[in-house]
Structure 1
Amino acid sequence: MALTIDWGTLVVSIPVVLTTAIAATKYLVKAYSKEHFDKRMEAFKAELQQEADKRKLEMEKEHTEYLKKLDSKMKVTADYIQTRYVKIQEVRTLMREKYITVKNASPADPILSKYIEGEIKKYLEINRMYFTDEFIELIDNFILQIFEARKNIYEAYVMRDSTVLHMPKNLRCMNNLVNLQKN
């Protein structure tokens, strides 16, 4: 029995077999890689979720501790409330005095050329812990109104009296501050 080789069939079948083998290998490698990648991804997701849960618990614990500390610091005593009330009354009295002083000042009064609002500002800074930011902002706006009234009276006096040639330096500085705040 003699072995005969059909060269035409061999030439066609070798590339077909090689292509099929390569395609099958490629498919198997891709399936194995995808399965391996999916397993690693799931493991990574689980690890990440554990870390996120751990961090969340730590943050909740820190938040609870912070709130406890804040509660212990924020216990308001009757003395604090009384002191705060007294300080607010003192600020109101001080502002009323300064406003009435400016309102009732004659145009030639030297009080108009002094920075009397500084006393109110100094009192607010010393007793800042008794006032809210909104209250201080309200007082600052009122101080600007006192300054504007004082400046208007002084400017009217300067316009009428030609012997006064210029606005005092402290009024010019405050005027610049007012113009900056308006812008």
Structure 2
Amino acid sequence: MSLNFTIDWGSVVISVPLLALTIWGGTKYLSKKYVDQKFLEKLENHKHDLQNVVESNKFNIQKKMYDFSLYTTRKHEVYAQLYQLFMISHGSLANLWGTRQIPDFKKYSLSQIRQYLSDYDASEEELEYYTRNWTGELSNKIPFANELEKFHNKYGVGKARADTIKSNNEFLLSSLYLSTLVYQKCENLNKKMKDLREDFEFVYGDEMDTETKISIRRTLTKKLNDVSDELSDLRIEMKNELAIGSSHS
């Protein structure tokens, strides 16, 4: 028995191109699927990275907002505290000039003298000096009253010195929170207060001659007014900055 195979060459010719086309189409499809898959993976990774960046920026922004809030709160506190100390210094200086309230020591009793000296932190030596010979006789009181007035002036100058040093120290310690303009105004105010205080130290001291004291006295009113003007300007600038939440550098 013999087997006979008959090949239809026409069909073979048609099938080969069809097969090639099928293979090419399948390859193209698989390639596209592969590319699409890789694209989706990269897109997902990118979305993940982008989300991390967003979260990181969000945290940084929140932290900066929190830090700025703390800074602003502290700035308000510093401005209020610093201005208050400048006001106290100004008051201490103003009390040394112009219309002053000096006790009439000639009308004081011995117990009143003791109380006054105690209130003004007199030392034991000063207390002993001013009270040991105090009597009810006016002739006795007058020289001691004059001495007590010098003590009163000395105490006032000492208070002004302590207050201006305190306000200056607060200014230096608080400079981180001050705008450039406020810093400059505080610096000018400090210089004028120091200059005025030193004039009072000379005027109420014992080292300077009378003629020089008279010369200095002529300038005191103007200098005190200059300090008042500087303090007023500082108050206006501080209020403006705090009102708008300024972050001037």
TM-score normalized by structure 2?
Answer: 0.32
Greater Cα radius of gyration, structure 1 or 2 = 2
TM-score normalized by structure 1?
Answer: 0.43
Using CA pairs under 8 Å that are at least 6 residues apart, name the structure with larger relative contact order, 1 or 2: 2
